[in-house]
Amino acid sequence: MTRAAPDPRKTLDPDRVAQWLACHPDFFVGREGLLQQLKVPHPEARGTTSLLERLVLDLRSRAEQAEWRLEQLLESARHNEGQYRRTRELVLALLEAEDNDALGQALATQLAERFHTPAVALWCPASLTDDEPRPPQAPRQVLDDHSGKRLSALLDGRASRCTRLTPTDWKRLLPHVPAPDKAGSCALSRLTLGEPLGYLVLASPDPDHFRASMDTLFTEYVGDVVARLLVRMAPSAP
């Protein structure tokens, strides 16, 4: 009595078969008819399809994913280039300022036009304004103990931070800009260069414009540039 041949699907380990085929990629050379007989599940519908059709679908899917990733990279590159150009124009405008008032006004104008920042305040201590012939012009403000304590409290021990800004705080920290009826948002940065030089406040009536989860690298960078220009323009500077 002849014994039936064992079913290879029950005696062969699928993982070992897959490993063997991976090590012998030329196995199907000369066995193209076998490729046409193989059936695999269709990825988007019930039933099966030929291996070749499945490979075409997989390759098409990979091509679409690669195209999407490339478009994402290009979009990111375009955004970064635009951000660089806007930042460059901002810094050049600040460098052209001849005094502290011009610095503050250039800061507010550039941030509004290029970065859609509706309100700016530059708080500086009296030591930077004592020898000036007239009081500071908005957005510059003279930093006193009351405003300094509130700004420090909002920063909560950090060098910079994005947070909500209540109408009361808006009136206190941006007195030259009409306060919104509801809470807005702001990005704060402490200005330092060996010693405290004040605070930079970027604000918006939109409570989600400056979200707490946002990175503050840009605000810190602008603050660093402003701090160095304030020192250069200080009355004691040669």
Question: What's residue 182's pLDDT?
Answer: 94
Same domain, 103 and 152: yes
14 located within any domain: no
118 located within any domain: yes
220 located within any domain: yes
pTM of the model: 0.71
Per-residue b/e over 109-143, b at no fewer than 16 CB within 10 Å?
A: ebbeebeebbbbbbbbbeebbeeeeeebebbbbeb
Q: Is 212 exposed, middle or buried (0-12, 13-18, 19+ CB in 10 A)?
A: exposed
Q: Is the pLDDT of residue 8 over 70?
A: no
The beta-strand segments (E) located in the chain are: 39-41, 48-50, 119-125, 140-143, 160-165, 184-192, 196-204
Question: What's residue 38's pLDDT?
Answer: 67
Q: What is the mean pLDDT of residues 85-89?
A: 95
Q: How far apart are CA 171 and CA 180, in angstroms?
A: 9
Q: Is 27 helix (H, G, I), strand (E, B) or coil?
A: coil
Q: Is the pLDDT of residue 146 over 70?
A: yes
Tokens of 85: 């150009």
Q: How far apart are CA 113 and CA 143, in angstroms?
A: 26
**Could you tell me which residues come within 8 angstroms of residue 22 by beta carbon, excluding any fewer than 6 positions away?**
none
Domain boundary among 96, 131, 161: 96
Question: What's residue 237's pLDDT?
Answer: 46
Same domain, 150 and 201: yes
Length of the chain: 238
157 located within any domain: yes
Q: Is 232 helix (H, G, I), strand (E, B) or coil?
A: helix
Same domain, 108 and 180: yes
Same domain, 86 and 159: no
State which residues form the domain around 53: 48-96
27 located within any domain: no
Q: How far apart are CA 171 and CA 156, in angstroms?
A: 20
Q: Is the pLDDT of residue 69 over 60?
A: yes
124 located within any domain: yes
Span of 45-49, 92-96, 120-124 with lowest mean pLDDT: 45-49
Residue pair 229/103 in contact by the 8 Å Cβ criterion: yes
Q: Which residue has the higher pLDDT, 229 or 34?
A: 229
Question: What's residue 21's pLDDT?
Answer: 79
Measuring CA to CA, which residue among 97, 102, 126, 87 is closest to residue 219? 87
48-50 and 39-41 beta bridge pairing: antiparallel
Domain boundary among 96, 111, 135: 96
Same domain, 174 and 70: no
pLDDT tens-digit map of 96-138 = 999 999 999 999 999 999 999 999 999 998 877 666 667 788 9
Domain boundary among 96, 118, 152: 96
Question: What's residue 16's pLDDT?
Answer: 85
Split at pLDDT 50, 70, 90, the class of 22 is confident
Residue pair 122/154 in contact by the 8 Å Cβ criterion: no
Q: How far apart are CA 93 and CA 109, in angstroms?
A: 10
Q: How far apart are CA 224 and CA 237, in angstroms?
A: 18
26 located within any domain: no
Same domain, 89 and 110: no
Q: Which residue has the higher pLDDT, 238 or 114?
A: 114
Q: What is the mean pLDDT of residues 1-24?
A: 71
Same domain, 215 and 113: yes
Question: What's residue 238's pLDDT?
Answer: 46
Residue 224 is part of a domain; what is its CATH number? Answer: 3.30.450.40
**Number of compact structural domains in the chain:** 2
* DSSP state letter for 181: S
Same domain, 112 and 214: yes
Same domain, 225 and 162: yes
Q: Is the pLDDT of residue 42 over 70?
A: no
Q: What is the mean pLDDT of residues 146-172?
A: 95
Measuring CA to CA, which residue among 81, 118, 76, 145 is closest to residue 204? 118
Same domain, 87 and 130: no
Q: How far apart are CA 169 and CA 150, in angstroms?
A: 8
Same domain, 187 and 227: yes
Question: What's residue 71's pLDDT?
Answer: 92
pLDDT tens-digit map of 175-214 = 999 999 999 999 999 999 888 899 999 999 999 999 999 9
36 located within any domain: no
Same domain, 115 and 195: yes
